[in-house]
Amino acid sequence: MAAIITQDKAMAVATVARSPGYWSGVARRLSRDPVALVALGLIILLVAMAILAPYLAPYDPTKASMIRRLKPIGTPGYLLGTDELGRDMLSRLIYGARLSLIMGVIPVPIAFVIGSAIGIVAGYVGGITNTLIMRTVDVFYAFPSVLLAVALSGTLGSGLGNALVSLTVVFIPQIARVAESVTTQVRRLDYVDAARASGAKGHTIILVHVLGNVLGPIFVFATSLISVSMILASGLSFLGLGVRPPDAEWGLMLNTLRTAIYVNPMVAALPGVMIFLTSICFNLFSDGLRSAMDVKS
């Protein structure tokens, strides 16, 4: 009997058929979604544009000129015209991708890490700890996100750092709430009980059995926040709370060009088109990711 099993085992180990894992399934489904792929492609292009800005931009984005202010779109040499200080719009839009993407994207991963940690601990531990953490989260959740972002950066003062802090604080409670509810659901499942019954310690169970099953849904939610974050971040700059002039950032450009709508409306509206485009791409990609991660569909 033992000899048979040994032989059998030797064969089995050599030829175990591996099923593709969950994430390769997600990648496969995502690769069949043309809309999500186009959105992802555009996001990659935008990031590349931000990184390669010095090589792509025809002019220095901060070089002003009083004699060529507010040239219309299509002016020879200034493809997208010039702004109210005579700076080349194309160059500023290309350079603007840098700060706009930093402000819009960075707060989400930071909030993802902090919010997930808070929510998963609250959801797994439960009881009084959960109540204390979640009631605190509720307090921040009780502010409309625009209001909280404006309140924090308005008090802290303008600047890139303060804007990043404010936006991160806005998103932490939202992510923590999702993380907590997903974790609470997973914790009630029998496989977590089975793991506890095998004598595993809490942190082992969280690492092996909880994280793999909750990070996916939290991640999808977080990607859906990037679009919100882009609009909110540019909104802060638009209010004069984000980056300071003369830095190129789409929201700030929209703000300084507001007075130009009577002179050259098309140029004035350009930075908003960039924000809109970026926001749509992130939204579409997030939607595609959501359905690709839904095993049932």
Residues 263-282 that bind another protein (CB under 8 A): 265, 268-269, 271-273, 275-276, 279-280
Secondary structure class of 58 (helix, strand, coil): coil
Considering only 67, 127, 128, 190, the residue that binds another protein (CB under 8 A) is 190
Rounded to whole angstroms, how far apart are CA atoms 110 and 124? Answer: 21
Q: Could you tell me which of 7, 99, 27, 104 has the C-alpha nearest to residue 61?
A: 99
- The residue behind tokens 């010039």 is 82
Instruction: Report, in Å, the least distance between residue 2 CB and another protein.
Output: 5
Q: Which amino acid is at 194?
A: A
Q: Applying CB under 8 A, which part among 54-62, 75-83, 148-156, 176-184 lies near another protein?
A: 148-156
Q: What are 152's two structure tokens?
A: 């924090």
How many whole angstroms separate alpha carbon 132 and alpha carbon 135? 5
**Stretch 217-236: interaction string toward another protein, x if CB under 8 A:** ----------x---x--xx-
Q: Is 297 in the site for another protein (CB under 8 A)?
A: no
Which residues have C-beta within 8 Å of that of residue 25, sequence separation ≥ 6? 295
Report how far residue 48's alpha carbon sits from residue 204's, in angstroms, rounded to the nearest whole number. 40
13-52 residues near another protein, rule: CB under 8 A: 13, 15-19, 21-22
Q: Which range touches another protein (CB under 8 A), out of 46-54, 91-99, 122-130, 190-198? A: 190-198
Residues in 76-135 that interact with another protein by CB under 8 A: 135
C-alpha distances in angstroms, 103 versus 3, 26, 60, 155? 65, 28, 22, 18
Task: Say whether residue 199 binds another protein (CB under 8 A).
Answer: yes
Interacting stretch for another protein, rule CB under 8 A, among 60-68, 71-79, 172-180, 205-213? 205-213
Is 239 a residue that touches another protein (CB under 8 A)?
yes
Q: Is 209 in the site for another protein (CB under 8 A)?
A: yes
According to DSSP H, which parts of 68-159 are helical? 89-105, 107-125, 127-141, 145-156
Select from 72-80, 106-114, 146-154, 175-183 the region that touches another protein (CB under 8 A): 146-154
